[in-house]
Amino acid sequence: MVDLSIQVFGVDFQNPVLLASGTCGYGEEYADIIPVDELGGIVTKAVTPEPRAGNPPTRVSETPGGMINAIGLANVGLARFRREKLPWLRDNLSKARVLVNVAGWSVNDFVKVVAGLDDADGFLGYEVNVSCPNVEGGTMFGTDELSLAQLVRALRAITERPLVVKLTPNVADIGVFADICEENGADGLSTINTFPGMVIDIEARRPVIGNVTGGISGPAIRPMGVFATWKVASRVKLPVIGIGGICNARDAMEYMLAGASLVQIGTAMFVDPYTAPETIKGLHDICERQGVAQLSELVGALEA
Amino acid sequence: MRERVAEETYWLELTAPEIAAQAAPGQFVMVGFGASAWGIPFLPRPNSVAAVRGEHIGLLIRVYGAGSRRLTALKPGEEALVLGPLGTHFELNGARRILCVAGGVGLAPFLLLPAWPPLVSCGAEVRLLYGERQAAAVFDPGKLREISGLEAEIWTEDGSLGSHGRVTDGVDLNGVDLVLTCGPTPMLKAVRALAVEAGVACQLAVEEHMACGVGTCIGCAIETVDPETGEAGYSLVCSDGPVFPAERLRW
């Protein structure tokens, strides 16, 4: 029997497979399709202080080995999230861990959301989104060292819950930003968010995406995600959550060997909602085949 | 099974018992090839359920790009990933005389309509107008009759088959108490305008680029208005639609 569980942020995750923010709604959208509580956890759609309608259509389109999206952080806002979405998570997920993804345009925006949720039940901690490429200023905190330090410090001061920062790959050296998060009190790092990109309709001579540009995700970016995870995990002591193009257990294992304690599946869930449960089963099978009793032993076990 | 039914247009039948048992006209399925077999298409594609025959569902697919080309190349025995039935369906609301207006492969949901139990039990009269650019694109009328039992009134823009003109030229709302329509957006807008002007209830099955089909990616947004509050916003074609009453769309 293989043990897939792993201790991260001082708690047990029953397995390392989480659903990425923006790809699983607030959890309940997938409740009729897959056993959500059997997952390692989910990361909610971003929550901002006020509700957001999002960007004009077209918002998504296929790209080679993946997709482009510019949703624009459409979400129900802090008040409705706490009132209508958190209770479902609290009542229906007893084993899967929940991270609430938080977004904003000023330190105060992030502080409002964290302060507005911190005493509620139904979630473990926060994933701080400083890396959305699809709204103006969405990557500001993720690409400016001083702003990032200030933000992490401000949030650390108001919560004792796990604070994970989701980093953007669109910087010269992601390691520098990982250091800043660690120095200012973050508990973990998620690597990576999407790469900015663009697709053009050559007949209309217009951008396909209503927002003109969008974020590229899917297996096309997996090697870059593995690289960023390896770079960050070799540099900081914080646990790292690997994200980018994971489609199966083999892909998830690459991230874990590179140093990820947990992984998130995103775009592949759109292709097949069973990707996450099958990845969990696949990790079990890989461990069994390799004679590994405890999956957590493989975190960062890359020989290089 | 897979059969060419018009120029670049194919009829596919997939074995999907659970979907066949539930699908209603206007609902769709996401058809793809799984996350590990990634290639083209990577994302699944939404397709309206066009028929239910025992344990099989019928899809009417026209080749527009790489995704639809791959789907129409499915061979007998080959497996695809099919998720559904998804989204909202047409609502009869006690209608007695229904006018269906279809453009291109927007024909699909109307092929399923006559055999739909709520329609069978209410016995409403159904008239189908079906428009294409030219004769080569027209779904074989014999096959159409075999699948749906409907006699379509065919319109072609160049007059090469059926009546000459746009399908909207054939819209006569006299005595009609419900208009159902599916097809290209300009046609939908024209049909909607006619129905709204005549004060006839109208439901539209709309399209938008999708990734997940189940409301999680929030990608398939369409501008809508809340008929009660007048408040404008976005709705999701996959889970709030694809069938919307005319008054909900902000067109």
Domain definitions of chain A by residue range: 6-54+72-199+216-298
The whole-angstrom separation of Cα A192 and Cα A263 is: 11
Contact A65 B38 (CB under 8 A): yes
Active site residue A132: yes
Its pTM stands at: 0.93
The H or E element containing residue B172 is none
Looking at domain B1-251, its CATH class is alpha beta
pLDDT value at B239 more than 70: yes
Looking at per-residue pLDDT, the higher value among A134 and A252 belongs to: A252
Is residue A66 exposed (0-12), middle (13-18) or buried (19+ Cβ within 10 Å)?
buried
Contact A23 B212 (CB under 8 A): yes
The H or E element containing residue B128 is strand B125-132
Which B positions 77-136 lie with beta carbon below 8 A of chain A? 81, 83
pLDDT of residue A152: 98
- Tens-place pLDDT, residues B30-66: 999 887 766 678 999 999 999 999 999 999 999 988 8
The H or E element containing residue B223 is strand B221-225
Mutation site, B206, B218, B223, B234, interface A, largest A CB count within 10 A: B218
- Tens-place pLDDT, residues A16-32: 999 999 999 999 999 99
pLDDT value at A135 more than 80: no
**Residues A269-277: what's their mean pLDDT?**
95
CATH of domain A6-54+72-199+216-298: 3.20.20.70
- Tens-place pLDDT, residues B162-216: 999 999 999 999 999 999 999 999 999 999 999 999 999 999 999 999 999 999 9
When the pLDDT of each residue in chain A is averaged and rounded to a whole number, the result is 96
When the pLDDT of each residue in chain B is averaged and rounded to a whole number, the result is 94
pLDDT of residue A134: 72
Nearest to B217 among A53, A60, A64 (CB): A60
pLDDT of residue B38: 60
pLDDT of residue B54: 94
> How close is the nearest chain B Cα to the Cα of A114, in Å?
23
**Chain B residues lying within 8 Å of A69, measured CB to CB:** 211, 217, 219
pLDDT of residue A34: 95
Contact A54 B234 (CB under 8 A): yes
